[in-house]
Every structure is written in C-alpha cells, then in structure tokens.
Structure 1
Amino acid sequence: MAILDHNLLLHGASGSIDNYYTRQHRGKTQLCRKPRSKDGWKAKGGQIENREKFKAANAYAKRVLNDPELLAVYEGLLKKYEEVQNIAVRDAFRPPEILDLDVDFNPATEKLCISIIAVDDTKVVSVEVTLMDCIEQVLLQGQALRHPYNHNKWIFEADNVTALPESGTIEAIAYDIPGNRATATLLTGN
C-alpha cells in the first residue's frame, strides 16, 4: 500500500467543489472551506449608509474623469503614487472641517471682522458667513475671502455694523470641490 502525499494531489489545482475552494499561499495550494453566514451576508447597521456614500463618491469620481476642468484641478493635487480617481473618491467621501471661528468687533470704527480656519484633504473652495439675531433673522450674510498667505484662513469683513446682537449667532459654512459642507456656529453676546 502506497502512502500518498496530499500536497502532490493538490499541486496546481484550482476551482471549487461543493463547500471547498483552493487557494495559493506561499507557493502551496491549500484546500479551504467557504465561509458561511446565517443571514446570507446582508448588510448591518451603518454598512448600508457607508455603501451609499461610496456609491455617490464613485459616481463623483467618474464625473471628474469625464470633466476636463475638474480633472485638471485634481491632477494638480496629485502626489507620488496617487490616482485622480482615488483623490476624487476621498474628497467626495470626506467633508471639510472648520477648526476655528473667531470674531473681532471694533465699536469705534464699527467694523466687524470674522476669521475662519477651514481645512479639507484637497481644497476648500468657499466659505459663507451669516450673522443672525436671537430669533434667527438674518442680519448680515456674505462670502468670506481667502487670506492671501494662509490658504486655510478665510476672512469676512463688514463695515458700518453698529453692534453685535445681544444673543445672536454667527454661522460659517465651508464648501469643498464636490459640494460637501461643514458648519460651525458661534454665539455672540452674553
């Protein structure tokens, strides 16, 4: 009776039979059992939401690849060993962040200066500032301008502002290239 070496029987085998499949690992062929799931691999919890986000991010990346203007913007952001599609998916998936919101009001000159620090993994394209009173009625609204030297800093200036509201809100909204937004609020007064 001859003793058979099981490694010789599997050498070069590929495919699957019933609940088993073969795989190559470190130059050897292994016979493995297929994984089982009681619920048929249905998505659970936040997986459904994440899948929808990735579908939208991939659709955005395809749109970037077909649009020469957007493609040029993302090609300018390329680093070593990166692809435009990967950067576009990451940019669409991650919204920008507002790290700081600061207000400076000078009653003598009646000048209001709001500075915002907004960052994104690619680029923040605009920051919108809104000044509201306690009943959320808009008193002042406009676009902030990018600081000439610090590209993460945005400045909103308004002249002839008599006073900040006693209990109002300053809201800053930062937008990135795909249109994701981040919001920060600052309460004014007491």
Structure 2
Amino acid sequence: MAKIINQENPMMNGVTGTIGNLTFATRKGQTISFPKRGPNKKPPTEEQVAVQLNFERFAAYAQEAVADPVTKLMYAKAAKKGQTAFNVAFRDAARPPRIPQIDTRKYRGLVNDVIKFLVKDVVPVESVTVRILSAAGAELEQGDAARSTGNYWSYKATVANPAVFGTRVLVTATDLPGNVTEAEFVI
C-alpha cells in the first residue's frame, strides 16, 4: 500500500477507483494506492449467498417502491440530505421496525382501557396488532391498534380481565416492505 503525500496535487486529490493495475482509495483524508484485486476464486459461503439474496430483495423492493409515485414521495420526504427515495426505501426493506416502548399504565383490565406503543421505523409502519393473554397463557383478546400521533399507536381493550397481574401483551408491528417485529410485555 502506498500513500500519496502531496495532497495538493490536483491530479491525485480525491482519486478513487482503479487505473491500470493500481486501485486508489481515500481513507481518513489520505489518498492511498494498492495493487488491483483479482477475482475471487473461492465459491461464496452460505452466509455470503444469504447476504447477496437479501441485497437483491431489498433492491427489488426499493425499485418497486419508487415506481409508485405516492410511495416514492413518502420515502423522498423521509430522505436526509444526499439521500434519494430509493436509498430510504432500501433501508426500510433492510431494517425491521422496532418497538422500544409498551405503556400499560392505563390498563387495569377494564373494557376501553388503553395500551400505548411506540413503534419506530424508517417511515411509519403499516400496521400494529395486539394480543392480550392471561397469566396462564389463554388468549383473552386480539385486535388492531390505531395510529395515535407520530410513531405512537394505541389499543383499546374490548374484554374485561379481572386478573391483570401476569397478563402478557404481545405487540406485532409490520412495515411497508413486510418486515415483522414482535415484542412482549408482562404486567
């Protein structure tokens, strides 16, 4: 590996790529050169194949998303400086939603008690479903949560639950690309 010392040289400043048998790259503000890498002769591992397939799936989703004007606009609004709607759609496909908070403080086991959820993703998720199970594991109720404000969702209980202690709340969030995340909270 060679370092280019004279960084003021306009011919070499910020050069990246391959010229002949030399490859140039910029690392920590320094332009470096190294021999051109040849083709890999080993077959890819199972993990590498899985990564390649996922990359293809994410790219296919992003292409489909930007082909639809409404979806493209939604992703374009979520883009930061230097990003395209395609970049944001790709990231959305690659990252499942997160459920960092399940708030059961207003749930006392009565009908119409509210459970709130914070669900984060690249863009707002498509849906959030809730299952409430007794301490013994029997399903008491299930249903769709409603979007509140921003990334918050809420669910109104439809069944009375006299034994709240030990109740399990299972939350499932599904985003636009179809990624699914589940979280559980025990009261």
Asked if these proteins are the same fold (TM beyond 0.5), I'd say yes
Q: In the alignment, what sits opposite 2:5?
A: none
For 1:1-190, what aligned pairs fall within 5 Å after superposition?
Answer: 15=20, 21-23=21-23, 32=35, 34-35=37-38, 40-44=41-45, 46-103=47-104, 104-106=106-108, 110-133=111-134, 136-148=137-149, 151-164=150-163, 167-188=166-187
TM-score (norm 2): 0.71
Q: How much has 1:159 moved relative to structure 2?
A: 4.5
Cα 1:159–1:65 shift into 2, 3 Å: closer
The residue that corresponds to 2:13 in the other structure is none
Distance in structure 2 (CA, Å) of the matches to 1:41 and 1:169: 49
Rate the CA distance shift 1:33–1:185 in 2: closer, same or farther, 3 A: closer
Deviation by residue 1:18-70 (Cα, 9 ceiling, x = unmatched): xxx355789xxx89364475xx2432363222222111100101111222232
Alignment-derived partner of residue 7 in structure 1: none
Give the TM-score, by structure 1 length: 0.70
Aligned 8 A contact 1:95 1:180 in 2? yes
Tell me the distance in 1 between the aligned counterparts of 2:23 and 2:184: 55
Q: What is the identity, as a one-letter code, of the residue corresponding to 1:105?
A: Y
The structure-2 alpha-carbon separation of the partners of 1:49 and 1:136, relative to structure 1 and needing over 3 Å to count, comes to: farther
Instruction: Provide structure 1 residue ranges, at least 5 long, that are not aligned to the other structure.
Output: 1-13, 16-20
Kindly name which structure, 1 or 2, has the bigger radius of gyration based on alpha carbons.
1
Does the aligned pair in 1 maintain the 2:133–2:141 contact within 8 Å?
A: yes
User: Paired residues, what number?
Assistant: 162
Q: 1:125 to 1:155 in 2, by over 3 A?
A: same
One-letter code of the match for 2:146? L
In structure 2, C-alpha distance between the alignment counterparts of 1:25 and 1:125, rounded to whole Å: 41
1-structure distance, mates of 2:70, 2:43 = 39
What residue in structure 1 maps to residue 16 of structure 2?
none
| Counterparts of 2:25 and 2:122, CA distance in 1 | 37
Structure 1 residue 143 displacement after superposition: 1.4
Once the two structures are TM-superposed, the CA of residue 118 in structure 1 deviates from its matched residue by 1.0
Structure 2, unaligned runs of 5 or more: 1-18, 27-32
Query: For the aligned residues, what is the CA RMSD?
Result: 2.9
